[in-house]
């Protein structure tokens, strides 16, 4: 395959870059694309185009904007197979996964926000004693700076672009330089769909340069960022001198709380997915599995048996449950946690260091590792506290409901959790007490875009979803009429 050369997309045109950074195919470890190494200059051009486009896009009716979003969804769906292939190639995930989840969800994001913007209503309040009526109006904020990570590239980028433009903003976006190819191709779709020039601009490059330039640009009043908690702290500092709206969707250390009365067949199958889907590179992946003592031994035996059956290999083969991790550095980081676990005295029940990988020659330099299950962990183990963001999960027993709630909450993160029991009262009780933006009871990753999504504590600030994204991507104004 010919090397892919990505170009920035500014004011509706593809602009070649003056310098590039390489992008690797994680499945082979070989360079397969060149990504513009953009900086402040390119970002400034994109912001200028977006500012100009804002003048006309922001005053279009919701119906007009909705039609454009619907067209994007239609055109993207028509090129599904091409995007499925690109996303898998760029990210390392299995092809079946980008076909089942990533690209359909990107299409869905455009459709859902195209529809929800048509149903947006304003609030009003009558003050009888004061003889006054209040009502709200919403206005788009301006140029939205959108920064997205590498794990679910188009899925997460489209979850930002769709609500931003539906609300009447224009956009300057930067995906991770490790996974920029599908976003670059999406720009062709924007042109096919008739998105006016300058409404959506993509500037490719590395975070500290291109990303930072967006964050500190004075004409970008709103930043929506999805990525790591450490990067977000830096971003908050950089943005502090400006009064920017910030939405931060960050890391997680998500617990599964499994009571002995759970439907174990469903629970084990789902917890395998929640631990290892997308190579464990989903912010919502389970990485601490607490099992009530009477069920612990049986759960562990079956969970380990099923984990051992998962095939790791060529992402193009349907039989591969897991493909490759995103990069050599990330693979080393995740394997580093396995070392830490061993040094801390924990036991590897299966995976890295126990079973080897048998890969064909072509994939020997890819970034693969086996799904790994740890047991015998202390509560303060780094594996129980830090986000690993890879196929490593920890299984530990617990005695009581009160004890497991304390343990589940004893981390800096608060993104998601699962709770497994057939006792509905307990489901409600435990779900209410767990500190997480989303609690899945007897399921995982069942997402309704109408519902708020986001994290507590170090997992983020703000919520996104049909109503919540509209709140974020607009400024509300209260108008009070004295009658």
246: enclosing H helix or E strand: strand 245-249
Contact at 8 Å (CB) between 392 and 374? yes
Task: State how beta strands 456-457 and 4-5 pair.
Answer: unpaired
Q: Is residue 455 close enough to count as binding ligand NDP by CB under 6 A?
A: yes
Of 308 and 335, nearer to ligand NDP (C-beta) is 335
State how far the Cα of 46 lies from the Cα of 201, in Å rounded to an integer: 6
Contact at 8 Å (CB) between 21 and 169? no
Place of tokens 């992402």: 315
Active site residue 249: yes
Task: Tell me which stretch binds ligand NDP (CB under 6 A): 45-53, 168-176, 344-352, 475-483.
Answer: 168-176
- Count interface residues toward ligand NDP (CB under 6 A): 33
Q: What are phi and psi of 124, to 5 degrees?
A: -145, 155
Task: Tell me which stretch binds ligand NDP (CB under 6 A): 169-177, 296-304, 306-314, 335-343.
Answer: 169-177
The single residue of 87, 177, 212, 249 carrying the catalytic annotation is: 249
Residues numbered 275-314 forming contacts with ligand NDP, rule: CB under 6 A:
283
Of 431 and 461, nearer to ligand NDP (C-beta) is 461
Q: How many CB atoms lie within 10 A of CB 37?
A: 17
Nearest to 367 by CA among 326, 336, 320, 312: 326
Of 292 and 458, nearer to ligand NDP (C-beta) is 458
CB of 447 to ligand NDP, least distance (A): 11
CB of 386 to ligand NDP, least distance (A): 10
Q: Is residue 389 close enough to count as binding ligand NDP by CB under 6 A?
A: yes
Of 206 and 467, nearer to ligand NDP (C-beta) is 206
Q: Is residue 151 close enough to count as binding ligand NDP by CB under 6 A?
A: yes
Q: Is residue 234 close enough to count as binding ligand NDP by CB under 6 A?
A: yes
Q: Is residue 247 close enough to count as binding ligand NDP by CB under 6 A?
A: no
E strands of 351-457, at which residues? 372-375, 392-398, 413-414, 416-420, 438-441, 456-457
Nearest to 255 by CA among 438, 449, 451, 427: 438
Q: How many CB atoms lie within 10 A of CB 312?
A: 25
Q: What's the chain's length in residues? A: 483
Q: What are phi and psi of 373, to 5 degrees?
A: -115, 125
Query: Nearest to ligand NDP by Cβ — which residue?
Result: 207
Q: Is residue 462 close enough to count as binding ligand NDP by CB under 6 A?
A: no
Place of tokens 């004409």: 219
Q: Is residue 25 close enough to count as binding ligand NDP by CB under 6 A?
A: no
Active site residue 285: no
Of 264 and 285, nearer to ligand NDP (C-beta) is 285
Sheet holding 347-350, edge to edge: 347-350, 372-375, 392-398, 286-292, 254-258, 416-420, 438-441
Residues numbered 172-231 forming contacts with ligand NDP, rule: CB under 6 A:
174-178, 206-208, 211-212, 215, 226-228, 231
Q: Is residue 255 close enough to count as binding ligand NDP by CB under 6 A?
A: no
CB of 301 to ligand NDP, least distance (A): 30
CB of 204 to ligand NDP, least distance (A): 8
Q: What are phi and psi of 273, to 5 degrees?
A: -65, -45
Residues near ligand NDP (CB under 6 A) are 147-151, 156, 174-178, 206-208, 211-212, 215, 226-228, 231, 234-235, 249-252, 283, 387, 389, 415, 455, 460
């Amino acid at each position: 395959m010919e090397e892919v050369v990505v170009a920035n997309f500014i004011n509706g045109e593809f602009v070649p870059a003056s310098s590039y950074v390489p992008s690797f195919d994680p499945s082979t470890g070989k360079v397969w694309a060149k990504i513009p190494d953009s900086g402040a200059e390119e970002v400034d051009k994109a912001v200028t185009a977006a500012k100009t486009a804002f003048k006309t896009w922001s005053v279009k009716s919701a119906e007009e904007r909705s039609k454009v979003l619907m067209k994007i969804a239609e055109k993207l769906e028509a090129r599904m197979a091409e995007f499925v292939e690109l996303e898998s190639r760029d990210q390392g995930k299995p092809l079946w996964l980008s076909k089942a989840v990533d690209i359909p969800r990107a299409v869905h994001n455009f459709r859902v926000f195209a529809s929800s913007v048509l149903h947006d209503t304003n609030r009003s309040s009558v003050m009888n004693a004061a003889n006054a009526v209040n009502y709200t109006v919403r206005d788009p904020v301006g140029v939205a700076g959108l920064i997205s990570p590498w794990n679910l590239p188009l899925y997460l980028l489209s979850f930002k672009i769709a609500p931003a433009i539906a609300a009447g903003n224009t956009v300057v976006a930067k995906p991770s330089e490790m996974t920029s190819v599908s976003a670059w191709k999406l720009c062709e779709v924007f042109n096919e769909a008739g998105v006016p020039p300058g409404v959506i601009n993509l500037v490719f490059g590395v975070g500290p340069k291109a990303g930072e330039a967006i964050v500190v640009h004075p004409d970008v009043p709103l930043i929506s960022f999805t990525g790591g908690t450490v990067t977000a702290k830096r971003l908050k500092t950089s943005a502090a001198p400006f009064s920017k709206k910030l939405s931060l969707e960050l890391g997680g250390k998500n617990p599964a709380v499994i009571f002995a009365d759970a439907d174990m067949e469903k629970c084990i199958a789902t917890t395998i997915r929640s631990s290892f889907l997308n190579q464990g590179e989903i912010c919502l992946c389970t990485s601490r599995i607490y099992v009530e003592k009477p069920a612990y031994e049986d759960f562990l035996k079956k969970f380990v048996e099923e984990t051992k059956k998962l095939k790791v290999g060529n992402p193009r083969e349907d039989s591969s449950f897991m493909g490759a991790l995103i990069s050599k550095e990330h693979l080393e980081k995740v394997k580093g946690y396995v070392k830490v676990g061993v040094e801390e005295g924990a036991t590897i029940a299966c995976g890295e260091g126990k079973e080897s990988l048998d890969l064909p020659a072509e994939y020997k330099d890819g970034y693969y590792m086996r799904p790994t299950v740890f047991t015998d962990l202390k509560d303060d183990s780094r594996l129980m506290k830090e986000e690993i963001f890879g196929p490593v999960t920890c299984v530990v027993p617990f005695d009581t409901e009160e004890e497991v709630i304390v343990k589940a909450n004893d981390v800096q993160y608060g993104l998601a959790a699962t709770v497994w029991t057939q006792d509905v009262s307990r489901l409600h009780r435990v779900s209410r007490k767990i500190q997480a933006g989303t609690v899945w009871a007897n399921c995982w990753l069942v997402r309704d875009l109408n519902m708020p999504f986001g994290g507590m504590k170090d997992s983020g600030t703000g919520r996104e979803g049909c109503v919540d994204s509209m709140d974020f991507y607009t400024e509300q104004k209260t108008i009070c009429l004295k009658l």
